[in-house]
Amino acid sequence: MAVKHALSLKILAECPTTKARVCKLVLPHHTVDTPVFMPVGTQGTLKGMLPAQLEELDCQIILTRIRLNNYGPELLDKADGLHNFMNWKRALLTDSGGFQMVSLLKLAEITEEGVKFQSPHDGREMLLTPEHSMAIQNSIGSDIMMQLDDVVHSTTKGPRVEEAMYRSIRWLDRCMKAHKRTDCQNLFGIVQGGLDPELRKICVQEMTKRDLPGFAIGGLSGGEEKAHFWRMVHLSTDYLPRNKPRYLMGVGYAVDLVVCSALGCDMYDCVFPTRTARFGSALVPTGQLQLKNKQYARDFRPIDDNCSCSTCSRYTRAYLHSIATQETVACHLVTVHNIAYQMNLMRTLRQSILEGRFPQFVQDFMDTMYPSRNY
């Protein structure tokens, strides 16, 4: 018998020319308009931002990475879940921890049992298994939990790619068994298979046999060529079910959000907008402004004339330039703007699909981001 999932997806509009669509994704803590970009934090915080500020920016869902041994399930159970603990009332998505271990800690070792790594806190050897990851994510109480997957770098070739794909399927089955709260938390499978179309296809077909509330496309955006990246996304969304959310992991450049929405993706996350803000780089429709550059020292315009964020309505490029080296305040102000930029991009993208003019939106976006030269 089919399991009842803790989410529903209502398709509001589909673009007749591309695969783009607008949906309402109803999650236990909040209803999310898709395509959506999810800012990334680490368990309990989003660097330099308070939950109330994220709400003010119209952010409906955030991704939080789990911490493995800082505070354990007992504390979160006592605090009645992370939503309560961090005072974020809207939707929360947790990643499983494996990708983070493999990408951040070079010393991680993968076995069939799980991901073995040295604790960054005290150097102790730890093993993250699918069961352990589910236990942590169940105690966090996130609206969407991700399976533990075996991720290889997107440019890896040879038998390791196939091994990781099949292991991710076996780990998905262990996650499904270990997931204790199917009534109020949604577990997503993650499609792997590197840049091999045949492996991707097998993985999607195998995963969609399982009765899961949603699916992610993983293992991309690691420096492979755009043509390969987009081809894998295109192929994956062709095989993923129309009535379930499709989440493209680790993607956050504006152009990728636009292209991958045209290819039918609904959800995205990336550290890029917040990380680049901390380096003084502001996102604008024409690209990025490096506010530390001398050219902004006497520039009394806001970052973006058309942005209504609290930074743009109060501060000039010259001011931001002058404080750019006083890390925390400047970081905060640029982070606010960059999140506003991402939210605004997704809002106008959704609006264009709803109004049947998505192809024109794409054309205008590309013309502004990549203007043709004046000869």
Binders in 161-190 for ligand GUN, by CB under 6 A: 190
Residue 5, class by beta-carbon neighbours within 10 Å (0-12 exposed, 13-18 middle, 19+ buried)?
middle
Per CB under 5 A, residues contacting Zn ion are: 307, 309, 311-312, 337, 340
Is 145 a binder of ligand GUN (CB under 6 A)? no
Asked if residue 110 lies in contact with residue 50, where contact means CB atoms within 8 angstroms, the answer is no
Query: If contact means CB under 5 to 8 A according to the sort of partner, which of ligand GUN, Zn ion, none does residue 96 touch?
Result: ligand GUN
Question: Which pair of tokens denotes residue 233?
Answer: 């996304």
79, exposed or middle or buried, with CB in 10 Å at 0-12, 13-18, 19+?
A: middle
Q: Using CB under 6 A, pick the residue from 51, 130, 193, 250 that binds ligand GUN.
A: 250
Which amino acid is present at 222?
G
Nearer to ligand GUN, 188 or 319 (CB): 188
For residue 124, what are its two tokens? 């102790």
How many residues form the binding site for ligand GUN (CB under 6 A)? 12
Chain centroid to Cα 285, Å, comes to 21
Note whether 49 binds ligand GUN by CB under 6 A: no
Which segments of 156-206 are extended strands (E)? 186-191
- Of 37, 88, 99, 171, the one binding ligand GUN (CB under 6 A) is 99
Residue 152 binding ligand GUN, by CB under 6 A? no
What does the DSSP assignment read for 288-312? EEETTSGGGTT--S-S-TT--SHHH
Q: Which stretch binds ligand GUN (CB under 6 A): 92-100, 202-210, 277-285, 290-298?
A: 92-100
> Residue 60 or residue 311: which is nearer to Zn ion going by CB?
311
Residue 218 binds ligand GUN, judged by CB under 6 A: yes
**What are the tokens at 281?**
């780089």
CB atoms within 10 A of CB 328: 10
Binding of residue 101 to ligand GUN (CB under 6 A) = no
Measuring CA to CA, which residue among 290, 289, 269 is closest to residue 339?
A: 269
Q: Which of 22, 32, 151, 349 binds ligand GUN (CB under 6 A)?
A: 151
Please give the angle made by the CA atoms of 231, 161 and 132, to the nearest 5 degrees. 110
250 binds, among ligand GUN, Zn ion, none (CB under 5 to 8 A by kind): ligand GUN
337 makes contact, choosing from Zn ion, ligand GUN, none, with CB < 5 to 8 Å by partner type, with Zn ion
Long-range pairs, 23-26, Cβ under 8 A, ≥24:
23/245, 23/266, 25/245, 25/266, 25/267
Contact flag: residue 27 with ligand GUN (CB under 6 A): no
The distance in angstroms from the start CA to the end CA of the chain is 65
Measured at CB, which residue is nearest to ligand GUN?
218
149 binds, among Zn ion, ligand GUN, none (CB under 5 to 8 A by kind): ligand GUN
Active-site residue (options: 33, 143, 269, 304): 269
Q: Are strands 21-26 and 31-34 parallel, antiparallel or unpaired?
A: antiparallel
Q: Which helix (H) or strand (E) holds 125?
A: strand 125-128
Pick 113 or 367: Cβ nearer ligand GUN: 113
Q: Tell me which residues in 285-324 interact with ligand GUN (CB under 6 A).
A: none
Instruction: For Zn ion, give the closer residue by CB, 9 or 340.
Output: 340
Name which position in 25, 175, 249, 258 contacts ligand GUN (CB under 6 A): 249
Q: What are φ and ψ of residue 186, in 5° steps?
A: -105, 125
Q: Is 95 a catalytic residue?
A: yes
Tell me whether residue 91 or residue 277 sits nearer to Zn ion (CB atom). 277
Q: What is the set of active-site residues?
A: 95, 269
**Site of interaction with ligand GUN (CB under 6 A):** 95-96, 98-99, 146, 149, 151, 190, 218-219, 249-250
